[in-house]
Structure 1
Amino acid sequence: MLSEPRSGRLAAWGNALLSGVASPDDAALAIVGEDTVHRVDGLPGESVPVGLTLALGRLRTLGVTGLRVALPAPGHPLGLSGPPEFNARALEAEEAVVCFGAAFGLVPEVYAAGPEGDLHVEVVWHVLPVREAPPADVPSLGEAERELAEALRDATEMLSKLDVAGSGPAAEAAIDAYRSRAARGREVLAPGYPPRAVRVLELARRVAMLVSLAYDNGHGGAVSSAEMAARSAALQPVERTARRAQVAAYNSIVEERERGR
């Protein structure tokens, strides 16, 4: 969760395009990000994968008015609504985009080749049918913000107990990497998102960073299997809260529109 999910970029900039506050070219460039190319496979009426600009336009003509993010994990189908076949593909990818207004979902498949520093990354988004139903376990922005405040306290306390603050260069490098991402974070949510959504997303990422540190660096990494199990049990609710908040931030435009109907 430290890195921005591709489903988040697709949903955020897709929503900006669908809302008329971003151009097709700008949205496509932002979605691709540092990858080489994105294509969409399985669109109705298309026999071969197509580019993002064409795909987003086609989804709009099919009735799609918004895009939601799903970030499922084993035992936690966060943001999913079924059917089982789509849920299984999304769980394997650990992310997906669910359309609002038409019963489609998109699951990414990532192909990477080349040496580090010169990596060629292609992403194919597979379009699959979904069940039109409320997504599982997605809080409102307000609920997510309140939950995050408590999760941040829990994660900070866990770091203190594990003496992660003094665990050396690995912890410092992780903190520096988070700060670098945070400096770019204001570009993550596309035009049209409320400031509260940006705030919730940034806080969710901070909590996720702390959870990652607690997993990786407690007591210098020299822990027994029992200690590792106890740490995991303590951190799982915090990590789940961060993922719920992340989904709430990306989905906020669609949720507000649905409440206003």
Structure 2
Amino acid sequence: MLDEPRSGRLAAWGNALLAGLVSPDEAVQHIADDDAVHRVRGLPGEPGPVGLTLALGRLRALGATGLRVALPAPGHPLGLSGPPEFNARAMEAEEAVLATGAALGLVPEVFESGPEGAGVPRADVHIEVVWHCLPIRDAPPADVPSLGEAERELAEALREATEVLSRLDVAGSGPVAQAALEAYRARAEAGRQVLAPGYPPRAVRVLELAQRVGALIDIAQGAGRDGQEHGAAVSASEMAARAAALRPVERTARRAQVAAYNASVEEAERRRG
């Protein structure tokens, strides 16, 4: 979770565009971020891939009133509503966007080219993203909490993650962990816009906390691009214990991210209701 999911950017800035709060050019710029190009394949009425500007306009014409995020993981179909074909593709990508009112979902497929290895600047890697548009079931998404629930769960999860890292002698250990921590702090201090216009302040607060918890988890159990563990050297049994201890914390952080990204749609539906 050191990187913002592409589905989060698409949903957040797509929602701002649908609400008339940003221009199409501004929305597409934020959605693409450092990627070279994004295209959408499989949109009804379009014989081939189209750009994001046309795709978002087409979704609006097809009845889309908002975009929700799904961040599923094995055994946890978070944010999904079916059918099985769409769920399977989203599970493989570990993310998806669901268009409320249009019964369509978007799953990203990422293509990278360029130099590989540790220390390669992101700008030197050419990234193209194809969003596959598929039909979805018009049903409540799985296991998505309210913002209030997510905030309470996150506060406890952050305490648990900190305790686990301290107990396992992970936090801040080794140069890879230090580099990851510094990268996260630099992003936080850069004053980046966490969510698009139209989101309530509580959603911004929840997403920031979820990303902080996610960063701690990545540092604790992930390997760096050079193949070295972020955490302290441990045995296989200790690594398994670490993963088991952090798994529920990671699930909480993902649930909170989904709640934050979906907050503008939830709030709009409450107003209409």
- Corresponding position: 1:220 with 2:226: no
* Rounded Cα–Cα distance in structure 2 between residues aligned with 1:185 and 1:199: 13
Partner residue of 1:187 out of 179, 193, 202: 193
What letter corresponds to residue 149 of structure 2 in structure 1? E
Q: CA deviation at 1:180?
A: 1.7
In structure 2, what is the equivalent of residue 114 of structure 1? Answer: 114
Work out whether residues 90 and 107 of structure 2, in 8 Å CA contact, stay in contact via their aligned partners in 1.
yes
- What secondary structure is seen at the aligned counterpart in 1 of 2:56? helix
**CA shift for structure 1 position 159:** 1.1
User: Which residue number corresponds to residue 82 of structure 1?
Assistant: 82
TM-score (normalised: structure 1)? 0.96
Contact 2:214 2:253 in 1 (8 A): yes
How big is the shift at 1:218?
Answer: 7.6
Offset at 1:175?
1.1
Corresponding residue to 2:182 among 171, 176, 186? 176
Is 2:154–2:252's contact at 8 Å kept on the other side of the alignment? yes
CA displacement at 1:186 relative to structure 2 = 4.1
User: What amino acid maps onto 1:160 in structure 2?
Assistant: S
Q: Amino acid of the residue matched to residue 132 of structure 2?
A: H
Q: Distance in 2 between matches of 1:19 and 1:234?
A: 41
Answer yes or no: is the 8 Å Cα contact 2:177–2:231 preserved in 1: no
Kept in 2, the 8 Å contact 1:162–1:214? The answer is no
Partner of 1:72: 72
Q: Which amino acid aligns with 1:170?
A: V
Q: Which runs of 5+ in 1 are unaligned?
A: none
Q: Is the CA contact (8 Å cut-off) linking 2:64 and 2:102 kept in structure 1?
A: yes
Root mean square deviation, CA, Å: 1.4
Q: % of aligned pairs identical?
A: 75
Aligned counterpart, 1:17: 17
Alpha-carbon deviation of 1:231? Answer: 1.3
- Equivalent residue for 2:261? 250
- Give the paired residue count: 260
What's the CA shift string for 1:139-173, capped at 9, x where partnerless? 01110000000000000001110112352322221
Tell me how far apart the structure 1 counterparts of residues 191 and 68 of structure 2 sit (CA, whole Å).
Answer: 19
Partner residue, 1:145: 151
Counterpart AA for 1:12: A
More helix by share: 1
Q: CA deviation at 1:76?
A: 0.3
